[in-house]
Structure formats: C-alpha cells, structure tokens
Structure 1
Amino acid sequence: MEHEEKQQEDQQEQPEQKQESHSKYIRMKKFPFIMGIFLLIFVTAGITLLALTFGDEKQVQPISRERQEFEKLYSTYDTLNKDYYTKIDQEKIIDGAIKGMISSLDDPYTDYMDEKQAESFHENISSSFEGIGAEVQQKDNQITIVSPIKGSPAEKAGIKPRDIVLSVNGKSLEGMSANEAVLLIRGKKGTKVNLVIQREGNTQPINVTIVRDTIPIETVYAKMMKDKIARIQVTSFSERTGSELEQSMKEMKAQGMKGMVLDLRQNPGGLLDQAMKIASLFVPKDEIVFQVEYRNGKKEIAKSENTGGKPEFPVVVLVDEGSASASEIVAAALSESADIPLVGVKTYGKGTVQTTEQFKDGSNVKYTMAKWLTPDGNWIHKKGIKPNVEAKLPEYANLPFISPDKALRINSSSEEVKAGEKMLAALGYKPGTVDGYFDQNLQGAVNQFQKDVKLQQTGTIEGKTTMALMDKIREKIQKHDVQLDKAIETVKKDLSK
C-alpha cells in the first residue's frame, strides 16, 4: 500500500547505526526480536508512508559475475551496450531490469524506488505534504485507491476505497508502480489534477478534477456524543498518534465519558510503534497484539505493554473497507485479545510485512519479507477482518463523483445524470424516474435545489450547483452516520449489562 504519511525519528534510544543502513525515521526499538525497521506502507496521493515492516538491517553486497544464474542477464546487457543501434542509457536499463524482476513477483507491496523517487520520499515523509490525500497501491497492474484521508481533497471529491485510477492529467497509469503514480498525482497546493477513475458497478469511467491542498497531519479527532459516549476517530498512525489518543481519552474522561467508539474507518495504516501503543491501551498486559511468520515457518510474537489494565468503560471499534494495515492490526488485537466488538464492514485485508534495502546511489528496494498474523494466528491478507456487527452505509454514500466542469442538462443521458438523480432523491427532491436520462422532472428538481441553496435557477447541473449537491450529500452522510449509530447502540448494550 502507499500513503502520504509523515513520520520522524523516534526520540527513544537508537540502535547502533550501520553504514548504508535504513533511514533513522523508521527505526524501531521496542521489540527485542526485531533488529531493523517496521514498515507498513500506505501512500496518500502525494507521498509514500512507511508503517509496518520487520527485518534485520542488511548491507547491499555486490553481485559476483561468477553466479551462473545471471549469465543470461549479463550477456544481454553486454550485447545491448556494445551493439544496440544507439548508445544505451546504462542507468536506465539497469533500473528497468530491477523493475522487471520485481514486477514478475506480482506483489503490490514490493517495489523499486530510483534515486529521484527515493529522494522525494525522504524529503516528504517527515513533514506535512501537499497533494490530494488518497492512499494508493499497485494491484493487478493497476493503481488502486486504498483510502482517502479524512478532510482531504480526495475525500471531498468523493474518491472511494478500491477505485482504480486509470490516468492522471491524460497520462495512463497502466504498468506504473505506486511510487511512479504518486509522483504524478501529488503537486503544489492550489493546482488542479484530473483523474480518470473506474469504480466497481459503473460501466463508464469517471472524470474527477481535484484541487491539491496541504494534507492535514492531525490524526485523532474526539467528540462527546449523546449519553456520554465518546467517538474518537484515528485517521492514521503517525508519530504522535498514540499520545494524541491518550490525551483525547483523558479529555473525554474529564467530560464524564461512559463508553467509547474507536473509529478506524478510512484509516490506511501508519507506524507500527503507534499501533502497538494504541493496542496496549486496551489489550491486557502480555496478551498477544500480533504475530510475524517468516517463510521458514519461524514465528515471533509482539505482546501488549499495557500498564493500566483494561478500560473501565465499554469500547467498540468501528471499521470499514478503508481500514488497512496497521489499523487492521489494532482491530484484530482488540477483538481477539481484549474481546472488544468490531462494528461496520469487512476491512481491506493487508497481512504482509515489508522492509527496505538502500543502495549507495540513494535508490532502494522495498520488498515483502513476512506475514503478520492476528493474536489467534489468522492471516487476513486479501480476506480482511469481518466485524462482529455488520453495518453498511446507505447507497447514496457510495455515489460516484460528478465533475463540476461537465454540464448535465435537459435531454442528456449518462451515468453522471443518474448519480445526480440519486443525490437529489436522497436529499428529498423529486427527480422522477432514476434512469440516467435528464428529463423535465429532473430539471424541475434541479431548479428547486438551486432555489433552496440560493443559486441561479438554470436547471442544469454544473459548476457551483454540482459542488453544492455533493456538499449536501456529504453533510447528510455525516449527519446520519448509520455505522456510527450502530456502534453507539452496541456500546449502550454493554452499558446496560
């Protein structure tokens, strides 16, 4: 996965640094069985984010030409270098060979970053960033959205988990790595980027124009709901998330919190040390948080460091299809080791561990080197975690984006017209038969909507009307959050026991 997170060096005591070792900001110290880094990648329309990876630091050793399995590779290189009809770019052809090798693994989490990509990654990972705020990964040779970040331009534009990005500003992403795609998607605040999206259930691709912005780095949002039940949303696991959550819980307790909903929806992951810290707030001391299994069958176990005991109030975890990587580790740990119920829909399903090797020229290889398992030994890769209590959002919460630059008017017909009809119907207007055809009934509904939001009554869906329509739908989703309602209901049941 990929994501635009931002972490910095952990301030705890650092292990001895080796020459050519991994960057300091991804070092881990807390687990004696792990000598190197923890990575779990999640990318946000602009920057790659390391979140969970295990493994020893390694030195990159030169490959001896005596190794017979490389004889064909060397021969091909020598032939091209000597006899190709134009002079070859040696660096480019070597990079291409590495990318081809990695591509043959058919693993979206194994990737090669050339010097430029790696440099960009290092520059952005320790600070806020500018982009659209959508985590992406390469899957089945396509660039797929994992999750948009809360409050980001991508979320506001209606980008959804599992959307496939076909092109960026007219350039096809077919065959590109996630890192290459991210370099095209991100950009300076205030600039526009056009994405062509393929969404499951839609016969036609969707054009989405998004204005880039600075992506918020705040990761914890707390609010006291009715009956003294607090909703605390964690949007990613960055360097201060654990401390932010602890502080938010203290504030909610001071307000008389009787129960808590830990909202991990649309959380693509992040730093594992923060996931461990959060899990340890709920999982009893020395209970298992997760396991790591290597290809030789060896397993290593990470246990809770909880010193405060189990919370004295009922807790429910809220998850969805955008909950991935480190958020799945937390959800599984709380479910299996603390008997905390999960509410929502099945999670994303990323159950592998990555590490990196750095080369002298600044490039690196990120590769999958282990599985992670839940406390009970379940591997959730490509399966996700099924909640104890299922709660789905209504259909209008998954309607496709309508481009404000496109005019939908009388007698036109398209999937976007159908989306407009459904939006108006969800808001209480009467667009007539929902069939994707712009008839007089729909025109009348548009005029009434424009009147209600104090816009010029043109009877056409475009520009400010399109944006207002999508804003109203977003407000309705937030105001009538059926998944949150179900989570609160579950907390109340525990309170009544």
Structure 2
Amino acid sequence: MFKNNNVKFLFAILLTAIISAGITFAVVQKDSGLSQAQGKSDDPFEKLYSTYDTLKGEFYQDTNQEKLVDGAIKGMLQSLDDPYSTYMDQEEAKGFNENISSSFEGIGAEVQESDGKIMIVSPIKGSPAEKAGLKPKDKILKVDDKSVEGMTVNEAVMLIRGEKGSKVQLVIERDGVGELDFNLTRDTIPLETVYTEVENGIGKVQITKFSETTGKELADALNKLNDQEVKGLVLDLRQNPGGLLDQAIAMSDIFVPKGKTIMQIENKDGSKEVQKSQNDSAVNVPVVVVVDNGTASAAEIMAGALNQSAGIPIVGEKTFGKGTIQTAKSFEDGSSIKYTIAKWLTPDGSWIHKKGIEPQHKASLPAYANLPYLNPDKELKQGDSSAEVKVAQQMLKALGYKNVKTDGFYEETTKNAVTQFQAKYSLKSTGTISGETTIKMLETLQAQLKENDTQMEEAIKVLNEQMQ
C-alpha cells in the first residue's frame, strides 16, 4: 500500500483556529468641558496617549490600567474588520491553546464571528454538540438565557465552556427553521483526532481536526491499514473545522507526489510562497475525499491539495470557505493576540475564501439528517401543537412510522406511533415524548443515519470505479 513510511512532518506552528473579536466605544460630548487640541502633532500615538492620560486623571470613577490597555488593543484588532483577528486575555488564551494541543471540557464545537453573530463552524466528532444535533452555520443567540449579541467569540466561548457534567442551555438560530433550544451536558473533548475502520477491503479514515498530534495519528493509522492490505482509502473530512497549518501540509505530503504543489501563501505585498510536497507519495492505492459544509480551513487545504495535485476526487457538499492564515503573539502576562498574516491559495491559485470547494461528485445526506434537536426535558403530549411536535413527527416518519402526520399537531396517530416506539425499545408506555423516549429517538435516528450514510456510499462507489 505504501511506497515508504519515512513521512516528514513539519512543526512550524501557524495557527488557524476560528475566533474573532470586537468592542464598542460610546462617546458622550457635553456642551462644555472638552479642551481644544493645541496644534497638530506628528506622533500618530499622541491621541492614544492623551486619551489614556485623560481617562486615568479625569474619569469620574477609578479606572483599571489593565482594562484600559486591553480595551485599546481590542479596539485596534476590531478595526481590522477580520473575524479571525482577536485579543485574548490570560484565561481566553489558555482555553485557545488547550483547544489546539490537548483535551478540554465543554460542548465541543468550533465557533467564529459572522456578520456580528456567533456562528458554529463545526461540532467535533463524539462531542455533546454533535450528539445534540448542532449544525454548521447555526448562530448562537443566548447562553443560559444571556444574550451573546455584541460579544466577542472569546467571551461567548468562556460562557459555553465549563466543567464536565455541568449543563448549559443554548438558543440558536437555524436558517429555514428559526430559533431552537438546546440543553447540553458538558464533557471532556478528547485528544484523539483520527479514527479508522475497514469494510470490504476499503479503509475509512476520519480526521476530525488538525491538532499537534494529528499528523502522527494519521501516519500510524495508515500503517495499520497497510498491514490489513486495504485496496482503497476514503478520507472523511466532514465536520472538520481545521486547525494547524503545518499539520495540513505534512499530511497532504503523504498523498501528493514529490515536487507537486500543496498550497500557495499570498503575503501582504502580493508575493507568493509555494509549498511543495517534499516526499515521494507514501500511498499507492486509490483514494477519495469526502467533505461537507463543516469542512473548513486546514481541512480545505488538504482537500484542495489532494484533488488538484494528486488527482484525488472529492465527494459530498461544498465546503465552508476559509482561506486565510493566522499566527499568534503571546505577551509576558499570558495574554496574546491572534491575527491574520496571509491568504492561502489552492495549488492552481484559487482563493476559496467565503466560496468553498465544490466537490466533483455531489452527494447529500438524507433530509432527516438536518432535523433539529429535541429537548429531553420538554414533554410533548396529545393535544399539543408546536414546531417541536412537527420535528418529533418527522423523526418518527424517518424511523418508519408511516401513518404519522407531520403537521405539528399531536393527535391520535402520533400518540400511537410513540406508544409503538416505546414498546419496541422497552420504554415506559406513556404515549408522550420526553426524557428517555426523546433520547432514544435521537440515538436511534443517529444510528440509522450512520447506516444510511449516502455521502459515504457515493464515495465508496467512486472509489470502486477507480479500483476497477
């Protein structure tokens, strides 16, 4: 399967996590009390220094020097109008570094600022966010009844994160659906980022993010698959929010022939750096890549490289579309700034920012994959009429209870279907949907989706055509 196992891994860390920042300043001018500037200075920072001195000396309450300085830094980054450039205080910087390099406790979803709102890029595999049914492009409106409007992503993340076992309630807005309530129990988000399985001689490799260990995990996984003599590989990059640039380059190097372009970096002055594969391709079996609208950043770099420079076909849905590179600068007090330093381009020079990558073979999941989450704490019963009832009816329909209406009114046929479902799974026969019944419906639907993964089926079909 492999031509050689001497895969070179690069470790020059360029961060590509998805965070943003923002701050608002309000100025009230009284009719008197503002002094006039005495001439114009050539020092562009005089106004900044003067403002600081004025507030320290004349503001009607005591001021905090650290907060004033932090606010000025936040304001500078916010003025860039770039959702990926931000200031992080000590606590936020610690959380950011944990997300890149180790496990952490929370709900397991990458978020960013989009048009002034906090948006989910992708839930992480096996996380509370994924199990609850949060989707890419969901916009977070409230956390535990507290509005996140006007917050930076860092501030919102600090509200969402918490100790394992603690609960958090989110109100999100989903396009075409409206507002939805999610009650999640926080958990430890694991370090492992590469998962494999073999089916009918085909190796399936799911990569969930690009952290410091992902390149080594992939190399180890491919070596194990080599021992099992698989005939082809499916690389699953769905719901992968990205991560470290160096890992994306090193992992692409395994598949892209030596000397071929992996990506291009376009600097501020327009100059371009071309990143080429440094090794002979280590894989010599057919490969297919699967993507969706949660495939972002470093995952898009890898998908683009494998497609354009190794001729590997892409299956699925258009990707997220993040085409910029970030780095970080840390300060002695533990705070840091993260800012965009360049664009990245695909091997053919395309900038996919806000556009995404279009797969050659389009495939969508069944419609029920996009059904909203149902809150197990909320009871749905005969006589109720609501959007939640309609969702429950659509779930029952997808699970094979064909006589159920999907009009949002909980009538006799819905109650009968629920009773049948409860009997099938040895649940208390109440005819109502709540608690264990809701959880079992969600779990059963998720298991059915795994068995009816139409995107993976299409990928295997394309792979089989290559293997013939």
Offset at residue 459 of structure 1 (A)? 1.4
Match of 1:252 among 218, 225, 238: 225
Residues 163 and 197 in structure 1, CA contact (< 8 A), matched pair in contact too: yes
Letter in 2 for 1:381: H
Once the two structures are superposed, what CA deviation does each residue of 1:338-391 show, in whole Å capped at 9, x if it has no partner?
Answer: 010000000111100112222333222111121000000000000010001000
TM-score by length of 2: 0.90
- CA distance in 2 between partners of 1:118 and 1:249 (Å): 33
Task: Tell me whether 1:177 sits opposite 2:152 in the alignment.
Answer: yes
1:214-225 equivalence runs, <5 A: 214-225=188-199
Offset at residue 270 of structure 1 (A)? 2.0
1:325-344 equivalence runs, <5 A: 325-344=297-316
Q: Which residue of 2 aligns with 1:84?
A: 59
Offset at residue 42 of structure 1 (A)? 4.1
Runs of 5+ in structure 2 lacking a partner? Answer: 1-7, 20-39
Task: Tell me whether 1:95 sits opposite 2:70 in the alignment.
Answer: yes
Match of 1:39 among 12, 15, 30: 15
Once the two structures are superposed, what CA deviation does each residue of 1:305-343 show, in whole Å capped at 9, x if it has no partner?
Answer: 223x36321110011111111110000000000010000
Task: Tell me whether 1:462 sits opposite 2:437 in the alignment.
Answer: no
Once the two structures are superposed, what CA deviation does each residue of 1:52-102 show, in whole Å capped at 9, x if it has no partner?
Answer: xxxxxxxxxxxxx97533333333333322222212223223322322232
Q: Which residue of 1 aligns with 2:35?
A: none
2:417 partner SS = helix
- CA distance in 2 between partners of 1:235 and 1:115 (Å): 27
- CA distance in 2 between partners of 1:382 and 1:122 (Å): 26
Q: Which residue of 1 aligns with 2:383?
A: 411
Residues 101 and 211 in structure 2, CA contact (< 8 A), matched pair in contact too: no
Offset at residue 103 of structure 1 (A)? 2.0
Residues 261 and 347 in structure 2, CA contact (< 8 A), matched pair in contact too: yes
Q: Which residue of 2 aligns with 1:234?
A: 207
Residues 11 and 247 in structure 2, CA contact (< 8 A), matched pair in contact too: no
2:426 partner SS = coil
Letter in 1 for 2:195: Y
Match of 2:110 among 135, 139, 156: 135
1:276-287 equivalence runs, <5 A: 276-287=249-260
Letter in 1 for 2:338: K
1:392-431 equivalence runs, <5 A: 392-430=364-402
Match of 1:295 among 247, 268, 278: 268
Letter in 1 for 2:172: I
Match of 2:242 among 269, 276, 283: 269
Residues 98 and 104 in structure 2, CA contact (< 8 A), matched pair in contact too: no
Offset at residue 120 of structure 1 (A)? 4.1
- CA distance in 1 between partners of 2:150 and 2:434 (Å): 34
Match of 1:438 among 391, 410, 421: 410
Task: Tell me whether 1:154 sits opposite 2:126 in the alignment.
Answer: no
Q: Which residue of 1 aligns with 2:187?
A: 213
Q: Percent of counterpart pairs with the same letter?
A: 54
Q: Which residue of 1 aligns with 2:25?
A: none
TM-score by length of 1: 0.85
2:45 partner SS = helix
Larger displacement relative to structure 2 (353-362 or 419-428): 353-362
How many residues in Structure 1 have an aligned counterpart in Structure 2?
441
Letter in 2 for 1:94: V
Task: Tell me whether 1:74 sits opposite 2:49 in the alignment.
Answer: yes
Offset at residue 289 of structure 1 (A)? 0.4
Offset at residue 426 of structure 1 (A)? 0.2
Offset at residue 211 of structure 1 (A)? 0.8
The 1:67/1:212 distance shift into structure 2, 3 A limit, reads farther
- CA distance in 1 between partners of 2:213 and 2:328 (Å): 23
The 1:382/1:435 distance shift into structure 2, 3 A limit, reads same
The 1:365/1:148 distance shift into structure 2, 3 A limit, reads same
The 1:153/1:238 distance shift into structure 2, 3 A limit, reads same
Offset at residue 28 of structure 1 (A)? 3.8
Residues 421 and 431 in structure 1, CA contact (< 8 A), matched pair in contact too: no
Residues 112 and 364 in structure 1, CA contact (< 8 A), matched pair in contact too: yes
Offset at residue 107 of structure 1 (A)? 1.3
1:348-387 equivalence runs, <5 A: 348-387=320-359
Letter in 2 for 1:424: L
The 1:243/1:310 distance shift into structure 2, 3 A limit, reads closer
Task: Tell me whether 1:304 sits opposite 2:304 in the alignment.
Answer: no
Runs of 5+ in structure 1 lacking a partner? Answer: 1-11, 14-26, 30-36, 44-64
